[in-house]
Chains A and B, each alone.
Chain A
Amino acid sequence: MWFYEKKLQYPVRVSTCNPKLAKYLIEQYGGADGELAAALRYLNQRYTIPDKVVGLLTDIGTEEFAHLEMIATMVYKLTKDATPEQLKEAGLGEHYVNHDSALFYNNAAGTPWTATYIQAKGDPIADLYEDIAAEEKARATYQWIIDMSDDPDLNDGLRFLRQREIVHSQRFREAVEILKEERDRKKFF
């Protein structure tokens, strides 16, 4: 069962009115290595993974929805007051014509989200390595978005999100170790 708490995980602030950035941020909303892909990937895998790792997938999957909300907030703040002219200038003319300032699940290039971005092999090791890769890809994507942005407040939020990917990657690596079941085995030297 899911519950929603009416607060962001992290206080998102955007200091500069620069709708262009919304186009890049959307990559982490509806893109292949974005937060929606992450949430759905982990939450879906957890039905067929050994019990000792289900908690981790549930908790990280849930946290990813909180991150999705943060990205949505960033995009919302950057576009809610933009005129059609300003959106066009920001490279969002095509988006406006379909959606006005409504958010949508597509990537920076406009490709809509698809379940082909995720996988669930049913093999715990394959699934966890996909998850580790996903976290590293997301981390890299945040780096590229930070590179494209000169908004200090926005970048604080993006650095937070990048840091979360590092911790998630750590946990998935630990999950692999747990599943190897070598940890409590006596080792003979």
Chain B
Amino acid sequence: MKELPQEYYQLLEEIQAADFVLVELSLYLDTHPNDIEAIQQFNQYAQYSKQLKQMFESKFGALQQFGNSFSDANWSWGTMPWPWQV
């Protein structure tokens, strides 16, 4: 299997960072459902995460299963390295 370019790791880390903020905010909002500012921050990051993932997926294939990501003609879901391999 070919090696992954540096760009893969860089973009992936951006996504991991944005998604981590979303997880933290989700847990916070689960116990603080009325914090409007937190909800705003959540939605901002949700938007940002989607943008990053679109970029990532166009270069490196689908991130989500069952149609939550579109597939390319090669069904990259099965061909790109798996997270514990990278």
Contact = CB atoms under 8 A, between A and B. Distances in A.
B73 interface: no
Given A8-B84, A11-B13, A3 B65 contact: yes
A55 B30 contact: yes
A5 interface: yes
B77 interface: yes
Contacts, number: 66
Q: How large is the interface on A (under 10, 10 to 19, 20 to 34, 35 or more residues)?
A: 20 to 34
A77 B83 CA distance: 11
B7 to A, nearest CB: 15
Which bucket holds chain B's interface residue count?
20 to 34
A69 interface: yes
Contact of B64 (A4, A9, A73, A175): A4
Q: Identify whether the interface residues of B are mostly helix, strand, loop, or mixed.
A: helix
A69 B85 CA distance: 12
Contacts of A175: 31
Contact of A3 (B26, B28, B68, B82): B68
A114 B77 CA distance: 33
B20 A10 contact: yes
23 contacts: A3-B65, A3-B68, A4-B64, A4-B65, A5-B63, A5-B64, A6-B62, A6-B63, A7-B16, A7-B19, A7-B63, A8-B16, A9-B19, A10-B20, A11-B13, A11-B16, A53-B30, A59-B23, A59-B30, A72-B84, A167-B27, A171-B27, A171-B30
